[in-house]
Structure 1
């Protein structure tokens, strides 16, 4: 029986390399996998999944036609990158792929933005996913588990601005709650 999986983690937790590994494993066994990503993250080109270790792969763009695309291709598995950027409607379609087509769907993404607020896609995934798994990494400053994607500008943490601002280690660092709160207090001083 297929399931809807939501695997979340902070930036730099290895989500993209997990996606590339899953796709490779399916394809090595002669099985078909469809990979989707958001058009919003264009750091390495639109429709690209790129790991920080340098591995890259083309992906289909995730949009409101995802159900139809999957129905036409009949894959053995669907893997989604940047699930936090998906609308609730798209997440509902992913659940329908699982329920109606019996195809497993594995969604990777961030849980919260730089202010600690949940993304629309993440919220809907928490409501619908059959299995929710955290991909862990450590705080940039200490040895604790990172929980926050902290936005930086000119070397200082910032806590205001648009919810979505695409960037990697040049703009965001994973921090634990203690270090995040320390940075937040320092920004208010």
Structure 2
């Protein structure tokens, strides 16, 4: 039986690397995968899943209008990067894809934003995913990183702003709960 998986973590835990490895594993066995990423994530170019380690691959993009159940091709596995940007309806479409068509769907994303607020896609993935897995990362203090903070150009922590502001290490740091609440 196919499932909907949600693999989440704080930033820089290797989510995209893990996705690329899963895609490789399926393809090495002669299986077809379809890889998706959010259209708004243009850090490495639109339609690319890129690991900080270097590997990357082209991906189909989803935006707010994309319907996964209607538009996903017939493949052996669907992989979704930046899954926090999914809408509630899209998470339901992916859940339906897994259970009605029997296609495993593996989503990778953040659980919460830089203020500790959940993303809509993550909220629904936590509610509907058949399997939820945390990818681990370490805070600079040595504890497990579970949160993200946003910093400005001078490295000062930001405590307000839009929920979505695409960026990498220059904009975001992964931290433990204690460091998240430190002033």
Separation of aligned partners in 2, 1:5 and 1:111: 13
Separation of aligned partners in 2, 1:69 and 1:35: 13
Q: TM-score, normalised by structure 1?
A: 0.93
Q: 1:23 maps to which residue?
A: 23
Number of residue-to-residue matches in the alignment:
180
Separation of aligned partners in 1, 2:168 and 2:9: 14
Q: 1:147 maps to which residue?
A: 146
Find the residue that maps to 2:79 and give its secondary structure: strand
> How big is each residue's C-alpha offset from its partner over 1:59-107, in whole Å with a ceiling of 9 and x where there is no partner?
001242222232xx31010000011001011111001101110000000
Separation of aligned partners in 2, 1:25 and 1:16: 14
Q: TM-score, normalised by structure 2?
A: 0.96
How do 1:35-50 and structure 2 match up within 5 A? 35-50=35-50
Separation of aligned partners in 2, 1:180 and 1:118: 15
Shift of 1:34: 0.5
Higher helix share: 1
Separation of aligned partners in 2, 1:100 and 1:163: 33
Q: 2:69 maps to which residue?
A: 67
Separation of aligned partners in 2, 1:22 and 1:47: 18
Q: 1:5 maps to which residue?
A: 5
How do 1:2-151 and structure 2 match up within 5 A? 2-63=2-63, 64-70=66-72, 73-139=73-139, 141-151=140-150
Find the residue that maps to 1:20 and give its secondary structure: helix
Find the residue that maps to 1:170 and give its secondary structure: coil
Question: Any stretches of 5+ residues in structure 2 without a counterpart?
Answer: none
Find the residue that maps to 2:157 and give its secondary structure: strand
